[in-house]
Structure 1
């Protein structure tokens, strides 16, 4: 069986003029991409090694080609977040055993050697990282066979292939790129790369959608930016066949706007995590977009097994809420050099990943995401899910972004502080408090609702960074 890069190079022979990448308004053909891969091969050969390579260059055709060259040389590729500071990056490079670091500059990609002993490569293709939202980022090795299985599923599910354009919004360190970039290229389609510097530029994103992509997969922030930009004009993007919602809960008011923007699209809510890749899929038509307060997780992907485990360790067989354990054909074998307590063997002998996600199941078997085990707090003795509070606040039509954190309180033990970015001046703290009072128990209503007009800090995976918000709030109290 051929590998990822071999398949891309073969396409350079069979369809050399076809567009492989769309970048800054122009196409990079498969023949041109192959030329960039060969150039990167030569750069790698000039500094030989067998260990992993950290690719920290900004997303570009040259960076994509460099990753493909590393894969061809059977050298694992560490793809860290571009937002990491130098100290955190150096720590990740050392932990991953990267012999070289590829960095981007005005003159292209520069490869420099490190003094780090070579780490594992073998069948490992990518070294991704967790978001670090609840601690230091963990390294997630993805081997060749599981990633091949995932790409095959993505190609079949979304009809990727020649003549199909996929909009790639996510940075290369996201596992979303397994579909947006790598599966698209392997199938002979074209990946339109959203430049990092323009990721929150409404005009740029709308222009890329006017270029008529067929598949759009992105976090809610992307759809929120586009919806805000085209709401008054009623602009539509009829070329889009598949809209894939992923990464976080998409608020109901935002979902209600999607069918107007993408009138020809089938919509998909994808659930997964970096450790397991996509696990569940709920597909729906436009008229169902806002039919649910929270979108169902949907059906397990082929080969996926799931268990719902209660606090006492027993498996739920009926209605109830518990932690979701998942086993997929696409998952990692475990974190690199870390405690792997979250990887367990079930009673059926199957290796599961304890997701840390709380899932609710109804009597008729419908699963929905209820929150995180590590985002559950007690306020005056009442257990409250921070994500539940955020979800309610996000349902207000004038809310653009929200982050809720728990701060220490001498009387209540903990108190909730909500930071909310508004869409307009019509949103007030009093109005939002009344909105919450109608939908939440008293303990779950934030003690403080802080209205802001600036964007909230985000993690490397595009989610609101509660850890940073909490740190800044605590610093302000000292």
Structure 2
């Protein structure tokens, strides 16, 4: 057990109990305090759920998963650590799931919900006997399930992707070495606790003896909250979706970016970033190296590319880079073959960190397929992402396979239309939705946010797109917004929210309206934009 993640954290706590492990709302949680909270939670779990790794060795059964439904906090992190120490599989579920969706998810996982983290980690009352040490197992199978993560699918119940202890150990070891994490490193954690980015932000950091600076999920889009964290504690590594980097740019809008100066690594992940959005970053992070990190929940990080700030997008998009150590990748053509030269197809990967398969209900068609030349190495994962291999061998992301629709019988990738929109200097961000239409089958609708001070109108935009896209790919309507488009909790465009309110039907030109206001006004604002098509 000497090299496994929870053991490394406990060992660091034993030697450096006062070292900072977590930074939260201006307060520091030391490693000693973190492991003490985890110990209290582990003792409660062992008492109420059958002990470490229940039902125990030799039973022939895997232990029943537990479920944590809570927003991020030091106490929640301690509960996850407790389950890792006990080697009990833990489903980390979003606290924002509706009651029916959460119930269905727990049934699918066969998981028992734990009490609130504050209850599990509470200190004993005055005069209470000391909390006994939890019976942590000394050894374990690396194929045992450590965590159950949920995918960010847009329809139905999220799929459950198990992460084994072996995968967790291999990933945290690789990531710490690649980005130079150690006991002197502080990493900003912006993602929710149930998101796979936490495997780096929190668990690689703690496994390296560093400090994770936690962003409150309820304040994740508040620039003042982010700035407060970065000014209170120097941060050395920042990983996040493009939304986070836009928010950090906003914190420096007044000209003082001193709170970003200590950052030495900036990781962009989770979604594509536009050229103008990236161009704003190098001046903010004068000492940083920039990385494009590609991966998904099922495989974790698969490709990494160090970005050249002088030529960030040599082919119009950030390159995916090289496969991480131990990763195999190939491009699948439409007929199921392998693309060997330049061209476009679906990216298929196998990493040392990937899930062994879904838990519970699985998709009708499995995305796990054998490698065409290396079937002994285990299954590969069809990512659903369309990539292009350029003549010089560079790979760039071109959209999703499931974003391909037919408009009047012509295949159109809505991601390519979005990319064309975002390439215009006057556009900050855009979403393109394919909605049902009785005559055309599908009709494209665009929702666009102008860049500050831009004077772009619908007529000019249509002429611009007409020079770059086939006729079938031109949106029928363009709707304008003066505010950011709605996003999910992980920073991706909330296409469901936009689709629900736009709906099919004719558009009536009206004045531009706002999208992406604070949560309390979001529904009303989206409905207002659904009534306007622009200039």
Contact 1:54 1:102 in 2 (8 A): no
Classify the secondary structure of the residue corresponding to 1:42.
helix
Aligned length: 467
Once the two structures are superposed, residues 259-278 of structure 1 have per-residue CA deviations (whole angstroms, 9 ceiling, x without a partner) of 00001111100111100111
Structure 1 distance, partners of 2:89, 2:71, is 18
- Does residue 343 of structure 1 match 2:368? yes
2:236 pairs with 191, 214, 226, which one?
Answer: 214
2:78 corresponds to which residue? 65
Structure 2 distance, partners of 1:145, 1:451, is 48
Cα distance change on mapping 1:60 and 1:398 into 2, 3 Å:
farther
Structure 1 distance, partners of 2:432, 2:230, is 32
Return the TM-score normalized by structure 2: 0.82
Structure 1 distance, partners of 2:238, 2:466, is 36
Structure 2 distance, partners of 1:66, 1:476, is 49
**Superposed displacement of residue 232, structure 1:** 4.6
- Does residue 387 of structure 1 match 2:415? yes
1:299 corresponds to which residue? 322
- Does residue 230 of structure 1 match 2:246? no
Contact 1:199 1:205 in 2 (8 A): yes
Structure 2 distance, partners of 1:373, 1:383, is 11
Contact 2:79 2:120 in 1 (8 A): no
Cα distance change on mapping 1:358 and 1:291 into 2, 3 Å:
closer
**Superposed displacement of residue 476, structure 1:** 7.6
- Does residue 450 of structure 1 match 2:479? yes
Once the two structures are superposed, residues 229-271 of structure 1 have per-residue CA deviations (whole angstroms, 9 ceiling, x without a partner) of 4235252522111000000001110100110000111110011
Once the two structures are superposed, residues 287-333 of structure 1 have per-residue CA deviations (whole angstroms, 9 ceiling, x without a partner) of 23355521011001111111111111111110111111101111011
Classify the secondary structure of the residue corresponding to 1:403.
strand
2:113 corresponds to which residue? 100
Once the two structures are superposed, residues 330-355 of structure 1 have per-residue CA deviations (whole angstroms, 9 ceiling, x without a partner) of 10111112146111112220411111
Classify the secondary structure of the residue corresponding to 1:472.
helix
- Does residue 55 of structure 1 match 2:54? no
Contact 2:78 2:121 in 1 (8 A): no
- Does residue 88 of structure 1 match 2:101? yes
The two structures, once aligned, show a CA RMSD in angstroms of 2.3
1:189 corresponds to which residue? 210
Classify the secondary structure of the residue corresponding to 2:116.
strand
2:402 corresponds to which residue? 374
1:358 pairs with 381, 386, 389, which one?
Answer: 386
Cα distance change on mapping 1:103 and 1:401 into 2, 3 Å:
farther
2:164 corresponds to which residue? 143
Higher Rg of the two aligned structures = 2
**Superposed displacement of residue 149, structure 1:** 0.6
Once the two structures are superposed, residues 181-204 of structure 1 have per-residue CA deviations (whole angstroms, 9 ceiling, x without a partner) of 001001100100001111001112
Classify the secondary structure of the residue corresponding to 1:55.
strand
1:254 pairs with 249, 274, 277, which one?
Answer: 277
Structure 1 distance, partners of 2:426, 2:116, is 41
- Does residue 77 of structure 1 match 2:90? yes
- Does residue 15 of structure 1 match 2:37? no
Contact 2:75 2:117 in 1 (8 A): no
Classify the secondary structure of the residue corresponding to 2:399.
strand
Cα distance change on mapping 1:353 and 1:463 into 2, 3 Å:
same
Structure 1 distance, partners of 2:19, 2:176, is 18
**Superposed displacement of residue 83, structure 1:** 2.4
Return the TM-score normalized by structure 1: 0.92
5+ residue gaps in structure 1?
111-120
**Superposed displacement of residue 361, structure 1:** 0.5
1:27 corresponds to which residue? 28
5+ residue gaps in structure 2?
55-63, 123-141, 508-535
- Does residue 465 of structure 1 match 2:494? yes
Structure 2 distance, partners of 1:140, 1:316, is 28
Cα distance change on mapping 1:279 and 1:239 into 2, 3 Å:
same
Structure 2 distance, partners of 1:366, 1:290, is 11
Contact 1:402 1:464 in 2 (8 A): no
Structure 1 distance, partners of 2:94, 2:315, is 33
Q: Which has the higher strand share?
A: 1
